[in-house]
Amino acid sequence: MDIVSLSRLQFGLTAMYHFLFIPLTLGLAVLLVIMEVVYVTTNRPIWKDMVKFWGLLFGINFVMGVATGITMEFQFGTNWAYYSHFVGDVFGAPLAIEGLMAFFLEATFVGMFFFGWERLSKVQHLTVTVMVALGTNLSALWILIANGWMQHPVGAHFDLATMSMQVSDFSAVLMNPNAQDKFVHTVAAGYCVGSMFMLSISAIFLLQGKHRAIALRSMTVAASFGLASSLAVVTLGDASGVTVAQNQPMKMAAIEGMWSTEPAPAAFTIIGFPDQTHFITRHVLQFPWALGLIATHSVDQPVPGILPLVEQNEQRVKSGAQAYTAMEILRSHPRDAPALATFTAHEDDLGYGFLLKTVTPDVAHATPAQISQAAWATVPPVATLFWSFRFMVALGIYFIALFGALFYLACTRRLERYRWLLWVTAFSLPLPWIAAELGWTVAEVGRQPWTVNGILPTALSVSSIPAVNVAISIAGFVLAYSALFVVEMYLMVRTIRQGPGGVYAGDRAKTSRGTVLQPAE
């Protein structure tokens, strides 16, 4: 494999692995706050035991998120050096602010969460937990501002003198609609993961007839929080759809497997089989009007298809080739007036010139076939997006149904009546992770062939290093991550098996030193 595929493989593997831990951290942190608020306001020790038990699992998961997160930040420099130089001015800032504002907060206070029980008052400890949850959520905000900029690069311009993107309006980068939608959608997805985690483990406890008091209370909290989050994740995902349709029409068309523009309002394809070689989606089952409503929130605006978008992009590649050629002249002769005029006229399409550069080294004399090849390269893998999106949405609807049912049963105190539903809940444990990874796939595979949409192609973003370096580092990470995964799962399962009982035992011992405690069960 070449350096580009290997670098993408490494980024994909490490990012998806990192994202196994992050959503659970996001969700559990908020759930811990909710449980601890109940403890502080009601003063019932069982709620403290719940915070401690779920906190143990939170801690095991948290360290994996931290360990894999450093890899992500450093990987931009190691494997994507040209990207780092080209967009560091814009993209680096949110990452740095994430560290200063959010990660310091969560990492400093997470130690106090575990070590502070004896040293802090109740309210102080609750404040610590709130700070951890605030830190994790702010962290997600800044990371998604950075990612949102890759999807929809606003507030920045290309600078010829430094050959890089420069910030022109930082508030536009912060207020990027793409980033805002992504943030709420991703965070809500994390809350669903946390809720399902608590629900599934509690369901297992109930099926085993263990830790009933804690399991029932945990299920009640998680079902209500999960229902709200799953409703949010679907409606906010819908808002995200409108933004994508506006800013990344090619991604939208690929998600829909929609090759030509349909008269408004377009139908939503429920099932179909996209065929990227014949430009057709076969065996379609459609729902009239729905796509037009989802993508444009109107009945009269058309949603453009893939083929017309490729035609548009072909024009942009031609224009980009002129910008690129002028840029090469200007690099050696900065005062060349005709080149400057050409560059200014075609500057907005420079990214498409870079894309042509990935097809042919001689951009100035590109053949029509090469230009067409570059235009077709703007189509992401249609079937991957089509299916990832549909499975994600189906799972989202399933979560609403399951959390809704559990919420109803929790309200009417009948959670234990339907054992089959407890089994369903237990076996649903991996599903929100699958949905989250599918969502990541839709967002990031859908961005291809760009690292920064319309600005910098993925193929140009890599470091100029031997491909074998990347292959070796992939091997290193796969080995280390697999070993850690085994250890992590072992400790998770062991802690769950020991159950909250272990925590009770510790607390009972403390009663001799004066801590007021009632037996919880």
Partner 1 sequence: MNEYEIFRVIWWALLGVLLIGLAVMDGFDLGAAMLAPVIGKTDSERRVVLNTVGPVWEGNQVWLIVGGGVMFAAWPMLYAVAFSGFYFAILLLLLALILRPVGFKYRSKISDPVWRHFWDGALFVGGLVPALVYGVAFGNVLQGVPFTFDELLRMTYTGTLWGLFNPFALLCGLVSVAMLLMHGAAYVACKTEGVIRARAQTAGFWSGVVTIMLFALGGVWASHLDGYVVQNFAGTGAPSDMMAKLVTRVPGALMANYATAPWIAVVPAVAFLDAVATILLLRDTKRPGVTFITSGLTVAGIIGTAGVSLFPFLLPSSLNPSASLLVWDSSSGLLTLQIMLVATVIFLPIIIAYTSWVYWVLRGPVTVAGIERDNHTAY
162 counts as binding partner 1 under rule CB under 8 A = yes
188-247 binders of partner 1 (CB under 8 A): none
d(C-alpha 464, C-alpha 500), whole Å: 52
Q: What are phi and psi of 275, to 5 degrees?
A: -120, 105
- Pull the structure tokens for residue 230: 């799953």
Residues constituting the chain? 521
- Nearest approach, Cβ of residue 48 and partner 1 (Å): 13
Among 85, 122, 210, 212, binds partner 1 (CB under 8 A): 85
Minimum gap (Å) between residue 492 Cβ and partner 1: 10
Contact residues for 467 (Cβ-Cβ < 8 A; gap 6+): 1, 2, 3, 6
Q: Is 489 in the site for partner 1 (CB under 8 A)?
A: no
Residue 124: exposure state from Cβ atoms within 10 A (0-12, 13-18, ≥19): exposed
Beta strands in 36-167 (DSSP E): 156-159, 164-167
Of residues 498 through 517, those in contact with partner 1 by CB under 8 A are: 502-503, 506
Quote the CA–CA distance of 309 and 216 in Å, as a whole number.
53
The tokens describing 491, both together, are 């400790």
CB of 312 to partner 1, least distance (A): 26
Stretch that binds partner 1, among 27-35, 213-221, 386-394, 469-477 (CB under 8 A): 469-477
Query: CB under 8 A: which stretch of 95-103, 209-217, 307-315, 449-457 binds partner 1?
Result: 95-103
H or E element, residue 430: none
Cβ distance to partner 1 smaller for residue 69 or 381:
69
Considering only residues 71, 202, 441, 453, which one is a binding residue for partner 1 as defined by CB under 8 A? Answer: 71
> For residues 280 and 348, is the Cβ–Cβ distance under 8 A?
no
122: CB partners within 8 A, 6+ apart: 39, 40
CA end-to-end span of the chain = 59
Helices (H), 297-381: 306-332, 337-346, 350-357, 368-376
CB of 165 to partner 1, least distance (A): 9
Site for partner 1 in 38-67 (CB under 8 A): 59-60, 63-64, 66-67
Q: Which stretch binds partner 1 (CB under 8 A): 93-101, 265-273, 294-302, 342-350?
A: 93-101
Choose the binding region for partner 1 from 34-42, 161-169, 274-282, 388-396 (rule: CB under 8 A).
161-169
Q: Which is nearer to partner 1, 156 or 443 (CB)?
A: 156
Nearer to partner 1, 277 or 332 (CB): 332
Nearer to partner 1, 91 or 191 (CB): 91
